[in-house]
């Protein structure tokens, strides 16, 4: 059974710092990995999606890497701002089996709560 773990559980940094969030998964048979952002009491917003054949994806100040063989992904946030404060979740989508029953079954980590203070 796929398990996804995120470290650290919480992180508090001063504005302007570069930071790294970590995500590890136990089964490397994945189609893709996604990073999401969740503001308190809100839904999730997709930040980056990395296909299993890719090594990294970039969007603005965000860079996500994927090392499928070691079961790890990192989300790098450059020059952090107070507006980056949120919970960051990673999720993996498994490879579909012959019956397609694995399609859409994302497995999530528990999230990292990020606080960026001025």
Partner 1 sequence: DGGITQSPKYLFRKEGQNVTLSCEQNLNHDAMYWYRQDPGQGLRLIYYSQIVNDFQKGDIAEGYSVSREKKESFPLTVTSAQKNPTAFYLCASSWSGETDTQYFGPGTRLTVL
- Does residue number 58 form part of the binding site for partner 1 (CB under 8 A)? no
Q: Are 91 and 107 in contact (CB under 8 A)?
A: yes
Would you say 82 or 96 has its CB closer to partner 1? 96
* CA 96 – CA 87 distance, rounded (Å): 28
- Does residue number 111 form part of the binding site for partner 1 (CB under 8 A)? yes
What minimum distance in Å lies between the beta carbon of 14 and partner 1?
A: 24
- For partner 1, which residue of 60, 83, 104, 118 counts as binding (CB under 8 A)? 104
Which pair of structure tokens corresponds to residue 8? Answer: 């650290």
- For partner 1, which residue of 26, 59, 101, 115 counts as binding (CB under 8 A)? 101
Would you say 18 or 46 has its CB closer to partner 1? 46
Beta strands in the chain (DSSP E): 4-7, 10-14, 19-25, 30-38, 44-51, 56-59, 62-67, 72-77, 86-94, 107-108, 112-117
Which parts of 20-49 interact with partner 1 (CB under 8 A)? 31-32, 34, 36, 41-46, 49
Residue ranges binding partner 1 (CB under 8 A): 4, 6, 9, 31-32, 34, 36, 41-46, 49, 51, 89, 91, 93, 95-96, 100-101, 103-106, 108-111
């Amino acid at each position: 059974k796929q398990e996804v773990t995120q470290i650290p559980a919480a992180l508090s940094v001063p504005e302007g710092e570069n930071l790294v969030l970590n995500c590890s998964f136990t089964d490397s048979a994945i189609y893709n990995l996604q990073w999401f952002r969740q503001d308190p009491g809100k839904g999730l917003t997709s930040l980056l999606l990395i296909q299993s054949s890719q090594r990294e994806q970039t969007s603005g100040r965000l860079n996500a890497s994927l090392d499928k063989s070691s079961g790890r992904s990192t989300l790098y946030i450059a020059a952090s701002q107070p507006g980056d404060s949120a919970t960051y979740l990673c999720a993996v989508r498994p490879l579909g089996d012959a019956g397609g029953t694995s399609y859409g079954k994302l497995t999530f980590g528990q999230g990292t709560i990020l606080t960026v203070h001025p």
